[in-house]
Structure 1
Amino acid sequence: MTRSENFILDFTHIYIDENIEQTENIVRIDCSDILGTDLYCTKEGEAEIQKRIENFSINGVHFIDSGNYHYITKIMTDKINKKFSLVLYDHHTDMQKPMVEGMTSCGDWAAQVIEQNENLEQLILVGASEADIQQINVKNQSKLITFSAEELRNNSGRKKLDLIETDVPFYISIDKDILDKHYIETNWSQGHMSLGMLEHLLKFFLKDKKIIGVDICGECQIGLPFPEYIEAEEKNAETNIELYEYIGRYMGK
């Protein structure tokens, strides 16, 4: 039996400080004891993560900790047993050449999805720089549609909207490093998008498309000096709750 609750995958206990657990209808899954998961995920680590989420449906909103764990999106989308498209909001492409063969990392997981997932129809990347997009070199690149940060700013990417296939459901993944530091503090370099713009871009899919599930990563650096950490956590918690409630209005949390 699978459950469809919204959930938190807590690798660093950062969500305890954010009090996200107090939000309505969300379950925390403690993953802090799983070895081999930070930045890179070993086969053993991946198997244990799969075990901990096997009784949960992919439907719903899922918080997956900092960008170091964004490869969780690959684990989640591997559970989809029908044709789908992935919408990725990210300041980075996450399609780098693997640094360690045989392991999934936060920097190459999206390349693995587009190259290996036979159910994937399209990967729609939103928010990376044009320079980084030009560096992408993956198999099945014809499945890739990109909307660069520059195209979003000058509104020149609208003509590509017609390329998006709308007869399949979508899984949405959000790395909050796409946002300006006014709204969030992450442990990676960040873009300059406003929260309102991100919500506007999300609405294109949320308002009338079939959504399988949504995940959100991009928490702050562990080990910041105490005053900076508290300030970052307050900012992050506010943005997390805003996104959770915004998405929930469309998905019926």
Structure 2
Amino acid sequence: MEAAHLILDFSHVYCDEKIPKKEHVYWLDCSDIEECDLYCSERAEKEILARIEPYGIHGIHFLDSGNYHYVTGIMTEKIQQKFSLVVFDHHTDMQKPMIEHMTSCGDWVRKVFLKNHWLQQLILIGPKESDIRQVYDELSALGKREELQKKLITFSTEEICSGEDKKKIPKIQKNVPFYISVDKDILDEKYSETNWSQGKMSLPILEQLLSYFLESGNILGVDICGECQQGIPLPEYLRAEEINAKTNQKLFEFLTYYTK
């Protein structure tokens, strides 16, 4: 079955980016789904899953702004085999849940790590070292030290900049497929303007890091989020959309080279 690429349009931001229509790219209007901005209720999660269901996860998927990054967790619920999740993000998205029975853009990675029994490794790339230390401290307090040693591989922005990240690469298991999720807030504002604080990574460096996993040829799916803030002044909004549209197009072309 040929991969189906998806655009999940929650805020109509992609309409403003003038994303061109392409073969095997399916535009899913999700703007009518309630209880899904930042926090996702169980009802909204079921509706999102139902809309994804006909297409599966084997493709490249655009998820709108970082407010909807939790959709990656919904995608991985469909994986019924051992896999590793690779997350490129300026934030850990492993906060303690603020609202019970709801998944948020800030805690979805933690939920996958603790509850998805198919997950072999979580490879988290891009947060600050201080944020990563907080994750280890909190999970250790839960008695998850053994799981942390086996399942959590982190590459802080400081390690990437210094080259220390290379020492951890041998820890990555390559005998299971990868699902890759990219939040463009990992990028410098030259390449993307998002509605969250951003890192300083260049697009060429991101592509270089992605290629390590893509060259394995064992990719279950890829998703991308990180669009701009809604409601900002029009000139600023148009500029942001122009920047984001160019980067989305470049990432799509780069990823389809490896996943076609």
TM range (shorter): over 0.9
- C-alpha deviations, 1:188-246, integer Å up to 9, x for none? 00000000000000000111240000000000001111111110000000000000000
Task: Tell me which of 141, 148, 161 is aligned to 1:141.
Answer: 148
Task: Tell me which of 181, 185, 202 is aligned to 2:210.
Answer: 202
- Could you state the TM-score of these two structures normalised by the residue count of structure 1? 0.97
1:100 aligns with 2:106: no
Distance 1:101 1:37 in 2: 15
Give the deviation of 1:3 after TM superposition. Answer: 7.0
Distance 1:68 1:208 in 2: 30
Using the aligned pairs only, state the percent identity: 57
Distance 2:194 2:23 in 1: 24
1:153 aligns with 2:152: no
Runs ≥4 in structure 1, deviation > 2 angstroms?
Answer: 21-25, 137-142
Other-structure match for 1:78: 77
Distance 2:42 2:20 in 1: 29
Distance 2:20 2:105 in 1: 25
Q: How does 1:1-253 map to 2 (within 5 A)?
A: 4-136=3-135, 137-138=138-139, 139=144, 140-142=147-149, 143-252=151-260
Q: How many residues align?
A: 251
Bigger drift between 236-245 and 129-138 goes to 129-138
Distance 2:67 2:22 in 1: 24
Give the deviation of 1:101 after TM superposition. Answer: 1.2
Runs of 5+ in structure 2 lacking a partner? Answer: none
Distance 1:43 1:69 in 2: 14
- Could you state the TM-score of these two structures normalised by the residue count of structure 2? 0.94
Bigger drift between 20-29 and 176-185 goes to 20-29
8 Å CA contact 2:3, 2:24 repeated in 1: no
After superposition, the Cα gap between the structure-2 partners of 1:63 and 1:230, relative to the gap in structure 1 and judged at 3 Å, is same
8 Å CA contact 2:174, 2:216 repeated in 1: no
Runs of 5+ in structure 1 lacking a partner? Answer: none
Give the deviation of 1:26 after TM superposition. Answer: 1.2
- C-alpha deviations, 1:46-77, integer Å up to 9, x for none? 01101111111210000000000000000000
Distance 1:6 1:27 in 2: 6
What RMSD in Å do the two structures reach over aligned CA positions? Answer: 1.1
